[in-house]
Amino acid sequence: MTDEEVAALLDSDVPFVAVEAPAGCGKTYQGAHYAARTAPRLATGRVLILTHTHAACAAFAQATAAAHRRVEIRTIDSLLVQIAAAYHKSLDLPADPSAWARRQGADGYAALAARVATLVGRHPFIVAAVAERFPVVIADEHQDASADQHAVVMALRNAGTKLRIFGDPMQGIYAKGRAANEALARWEEIKAAAAFAELCTPHRWSDGTPALGAWVLRARDALKNGQPIDLTGALPQGLNILHADNTAVGRGYRLDSAERAPIDRVARAGTQALILTPQNDMTEALAAFWNRAIPIWEGHTRPAVDELITATEESAGDAVAVANAVVAFMGRVAVGFSRSSHGDRLVREVGEGCTSAARGKPARIQQLGRFILEEPNHVGIAKCLAELSRLQREGVSGFETVSIDYRREYQDAIRLGEFVDAHDGLAEINRRRAFTRPTPPARAISTIHKAKGLECDNAMILPCDSRFSSTYYSRCRLYVAISRAKRSLTLVLSRENPSPIFDV
């Protein structure tokens, strides 16, 4: 369908519309402009835009700025948290469901979604109240919705909300295996139940490199159909192929000088660049590869801080346990502060009361331990981390090799010291971050997951090796990566460990 036909369908009185939207084909534009057109016509209530990432929230906020008073933009998790907070006693949850979810670990928000989905299924009046407040709901990136999130959205539709769903199964990278198959089946059910349309014009590249956009759509078709991406013929303008093989032993990344030189040129060229890699450990390896001159994009989540708070809470004032939590945190966010170099001594000093005679580096570690010993909680941790940051920043002997990879996460752990309660502090810090909607610096290293929803002038994907297997999940992950760049895309292929997704 043409863009005009899709817009007309969205504007129609049809209660349920679904739009399949490949990356860069105007999904945010269509959704945001529909919201802007619809909001002033509402007699009561607001348009609700539900996303799955804070990057998408930022994009919609920018596109709907003129109608912001009648449009509410939030992640679907935040909507579920709001419902859970209102009915927390019925759900056997504390008054702060977010804090509860964080304490549960990686699956906390999924567990929260399951409880809310069950609740609204049993008590339709709850979603009826939400539908009255939000008579129009736009569900963005719905291919990433879990079964429980989907159930809540569909309950809103059944309660009378006019529902507009946007999604692209080829960008579903948050589910694997059986869960991914179930998500695909849900998308087919949506297509069958809704008035369905598909966007197909690669707008993202119209002011960049149109030939690259056309190639990305062809590559999407190949990946969707289980075929390899053909790199054997003439390459379109904007697509560059380099070859390099990692020679590092273990978790690092190292290239010989001949292979490294063209990669360095790409990383330094242009005004904006994202360096995309499939795994977290490779982001850290690449940060070291460029001597930390290119920062890691951390996205919105703070998993190491979550673990630090949980461990501190479980320690119940045990200073040694808190010291161990700090050492574990440093292992997640920094290098050069290992157990052997600093951590074991810190824990021992805390256990011994920080009373032994010490000079130089041991004395400074002892001082870090005193902060924890005096306040074995998040406040003492914040003071310890702030002092450690000063030692590292000033290049004090014994700390000059400490490098903080996840700088924003580290600073958030320090900011927690400003709050009486750690969970309240984290909730406030997260709220501020959601409100300011930070974006990556001009040059950044990012996992593909954290780059989802972003776009950039130039992108480089490495290493393109067997980490990109032939599974459906891996094909989706690669598609998300190749569709970020508007002007130039560089693929760094491996000769020794090639990916089956590419035909070279």
> Looking at the structure, do residues 338 and 485 belong to the same domain, yes or no?
no
Number of domains the chain contains:
3
Could you give the maximum distance between any two Cα atoms of the chain, in Å?
A: 78
> Looking at the structure, do residues 160 and 20 belong to the same domain, yes or no?
yes
Give domain status of residue 503, yes or no: no
Give domain status of residue 498, yes or no: no
Q: 463 and 263 in contact (C-beta within 8 Å)? A: no
pLDDT per position in the chain (504 positions), as tens?
899 999 999 999 999 999 999 999 999 999 999 999 999 999 999 999 999 887 788 889 888 988 889 999 999 999 999 999 999 999 999 998 988 888 887 789 999 999 999 999 999 999 999 999 999 999 999 999 999 999 999 999 999 999 999 999 999 998 888 889 999 999 999 999 999 999 999 999 999 999 999 999 999 999 999 999 999 989 999 999 999 999 998 889 999 999 999 999 999 887 789 999 999 899 999 999 999 999 999 988 888 998 999 899 888 899 999 999 999 999 999 999 999 999 999 999 999 999 999 999 999 999 999 999 999 999 999 999 999 999 999 999 999 999 999 999 999 999 999 999 888 888 888 878 877 777 889 999 999 999 988 889 999 999 999 999 999 999 999 999 999 999 999 999 999 999 999 998
For residue 82, give Cα distances in angstroms to 88, 121, 246. 10, 16, 47
Give domain status of residue 404, yes or no: yes
> Looking at the structure, do residues 87 and 188 belong to the same domain, yes or no?
yes
Give domain status of residue 354, yes or no: yes
Q: Which of 183, 201, 219 is the last residue of a domain?
A: 201
Question: Could you tell me the CATH number of the domain that includes residue 44?
Answer: 3.40.50.300
> Looking at the structure, do residues 393 and 471 belong to the same domain, yes or no?
no
> Looking at the structure, do residues 193 and 122 belong to the same domain, yes or no?
yes
- Taking the C-alpha atoms of residue 378 and residue 309, their distance in angstroms, rounded to an integer, is 7
Give domain status of residue 502, yes or no: no
Give domain status of residue 313, yes or no: yes
107-161 pLDDT, tens per residue?
899 999 999 999 999 999 999 999 999 999 999 999 999 999 999 999 999 999 9
> What ranges make up the beta strands (E) of 332-478?
334-335, 403-404, 443-447, 456-464
- Residues 6 or more apart whose CB falls under 8 angstroms from that of 231 comprise 241, 491, 502, 503, 504
pLDDT score for 159: 96
Give domain status of residue 363, yes or no: yes
Which residues, listed in sequence order, are joined to residue 461 by a DSSP beta bridge?
276, 491
> Looking at the structure, do residues 62 and 172 belong to the same domain, yes or no?
yes
Q: Which of 201, 221, 243 is the last residue of a domain?
A: 201
> Looking at the structure, do residues 136 and 149 belong to the same domain, yes or no?
yes
Q: Which of 417, 436, 455 is the last residue of a domain?
A: 436
Q: What is the SS3 assignment for 465?
A: strand
Angle, in degrees to the nearest 10, between helices 407-415 and 378-393: 130
> Looking at the structure, do residues 310 and 416 belong to the same domain, yes or no?
yes
pLDDT score for 53: 80
Q: Which domain holds residue 138?
A: 3-201
440-485 pLDDT, tens per residue?
899 999 999 999 888 899 999 999 999 999 999 999 999 999 999 9
Angle, in degrees to the nearest 10, between helices 27-38 and 54-63: 50
> Looking at the structure, do residues 356 and 424 belong to the same domain, yes or no?
yes
Cβ burial, residue 461 (10 Å; 0-12/13-18/19+): buried
Give domain status of residue 34, yes or no: yes
> Looking at the structure, do residues 190 and 45 belong to the same domain, yes or no?
yes
> Looking at the structure, do residues 158 and 234 belong to the same domain, yes or no?
no
> Looking at the structure, do residues 103 and 184 belong to the same domain, yes or no?
yes
pLDDT score for 270: 74
- Taking the C-alpha atoms of residue 138 and residue 285, their distance in angstroms, rounded to an integer, is 39
- Taking the C-alpha atoms of residue 172 and residue 262, their distance in angstroms, rounded to an integer, is 32
